Amino acid sequence: MNSVRTRIAPSPTGEDIHIGNLYTALINFAVAKKHGGKFIIRIEDTDRIRFQEGAEEKILASLKAYGVSYDEGPDVGGPFAPYRQSERLSLYKKYAEELVEKGAAYYCFCAKERLEKLREEQLAQKKTPRYDKHCLRAVKNPQERIAKGEQYVIRLNILPGKKMWFKDLIRGQITFDSSDIDDQVLLKSDGYPTYHLGVVVDDHLMQISHIIRAEEWISSTPKHVLLYESLVWEQPIFAHLPILRNPDKSKLSKRKNPVWASWYLQEGYVPEAVLNYLALMGWSHPEQREIFSLQEFIDLFDLKDVQPVGPVFDIQKLTWMNGVYIRDVLSKDDFLKRLKHFYRDDEEIASLFERDNSPLFSMLLDIARTRMKTLKDFKGLVKEPKKEDRYESEEVVLAKSLSDTFSSLSESDWNEERILEALKKFSAEQNVSMKLAYTLLTGKPQGLPLPQFLTYLGREAALRRLQRYW
């Protein structure tokens, strides 16, 4: 295949990139890389009402943080710059006018009130609301009205009754009837294009070979096909990916799930694990393996193998997979690097890394890795328990007793074996469970293997933890 060029075209209307769009980005990235092609980011910021300041920066930063790197985009430039639609307005106007000249589009001067009334009448008659081509028939000299400064839009002129089709790489042939399509606005009165015009013009000018996007855009594709036809442009290859679902099959939504890609990183998910999990949405490894590298995915992936039915995005499964990455996939050095990055602004945890080349710290990493599912779990395992306002007198007695037991160990006896003995002695003498010793020392009933963790902490620090009880 020559010159594969894929793209995502996010709209900066949310907080960040949606996890579903990250999935779309991953697939576009993989297809481009597999064929030695280019992956492009274009920002579709034509909806000025839903536009959110700062969203573009967040989207780009998230893509970078996940390692879904792009070859062309608004911040890195490229041969088809600018990559932000708001900076390309003259192009859309030019093609909208070209469509008018060809009779494939027309000027419309209808006031909002007329359109609303029309809509109400059609709804009352149980008809699907659509524009009635009034201006196509009634307006004789649009240029005169434009010259007078009248507001206008440009609409697609759909000839009804045409049976049409396009091929979708995942879903096969999709047929449609032009009678079902409204005379869509292409250019708005503010000079901005609508999605349909912007996307077709840019995908063509940016020489996009494959349009790979979520299934929610299938219903827009017929309009795009009509535009490609009218402009006599070659159609790209279409592939509509399945939409990710919650385990209850509902659409992933902000109300039910964390949907922003950066949330997962803030919660201590490893980017590679998230991408690995997303790769399995609608696709499976030929040997049914669940854990594989991005490169392996790129080598094996084929759009034709994607299953079009809604794959389930199950955060529990992702969390499990993240644990596998932490335990088994990341090298120890890499794991430490991720931890340092994750806790770069957390003084308490960052200070632990000052001992990062001691054998005890190395042991801590080994034991911590086996108990973690996210990087965030590390803090829960190692942080000092908080001093509470008051303790039960029974707890204080037990803490003192454990402290006495530990005090009887000298600094040189402070090793795993002797600590374990001491803990056993304490639990036998006081007739309490090991869980209680855990709670006294860590504030929680379970955590890291205690003798090893206490060896790492050192005698002084262990005693200090108990002293918070009095």
> Interface with ligand GLU by CB under 6 A: which residues?
9-11, 44, 195, 199, 213, 217
Q: Which of 94, 254, 337, 435 is catalytic?
A: 254
Helix (H) or strand (E) run with residue 239 in it: strand 237-241
Spatial distance between the Cα atoms of 367 and 212, rounded to a whole number of angstroms = 43
Q: How far is the CB of 195 from ligand GLU (least distance, A)?
A: 6
What is residue 360's three-state secondary structure?
A: helix
Spatial distance between the Cα atoms of 185 and 27, rounded to a whole number of angstroms = 31
Burial class (CB in 10 A: 0-12, 13-18, 19+), 20: buried
Q: For the sheet containing 163-168, what is the strand order?
A: 38-41, 5-8, 210-214, 237-241, 163-168, 172-177
* N-term to C-term CA, the chain: 73
Question: CA 299: distance to chain centroid?
Answer: 22
Sign of the dihedral through C-alpha 23, 25, 30, 35 = positive
Q: How far is the CB of 92 from ligand GLU (least distance, A)?
A: 14
Spatial distance between the Cα atoms of 21 and 23, rounded to a whole number of angstroms = 5
Spatial distance between the Cα atoms of 452 and 448, rounded to a whole number of angstroms = 8
Active site (annotated) includes residue 254: yes
Please, which residue, 156 or 457, has the CB nearer to ligand GLU?
156
Please, which residue, 46 or 403, has the CB nearer to ligand GLU?
46
Q: How far is the CB of 204 from ligand GLU (least distance, A)?
A: 13
Please, which residue, 167 or 355, has the CB nearer to ligand GLU?
167
Distances in Å between the alpha carbon of 379 and those of 307, 384, 385, 438? 39, 9, 11, 16
Contact 88, 206 (CB under 8 A): no
Dump strand ranges (E) for 19-103: 38-41
Q: How far is the CB of 36 from ligand GLU (least distance, A)?
A: 22
Please, which residue, 11 or 452, has the CB nearer to ligand GLU?
11
Please, which residue, 44 or 56, has the CB nearer to ligand GLU?
44
- Which of 299, 306, 248, 297 is closest to 277 using CA atoms? 297
Indicate the residue type of 195.
Y
Q: How far is the CB of 370 from ligand GLU (least distance, A)?
A: 40
Please, which residue, 10 or 311, has the CB nearer to ligand GLU?
10
Spatial distance between the Cα atoms of 110 and 152, rounded to a whole number of angstroms = 8
Q: How far is the CB of 218 from ligand GLU (least distance, A)?
A: 11
Q: How far is the CB of 362 from ligand GLU (least distance, A)?
A: 46
Please, which residue, 44 or 272, has the CB nearer to ligand GLU?
44
For the CA atoms of 287, 332, 343, 75, what is the dihedral angle to 10 degrees? -60
Spatial distance between the Cα atoms of 83 and 76, rounded to a whole number of angstroms = 9
Active site residues: 254
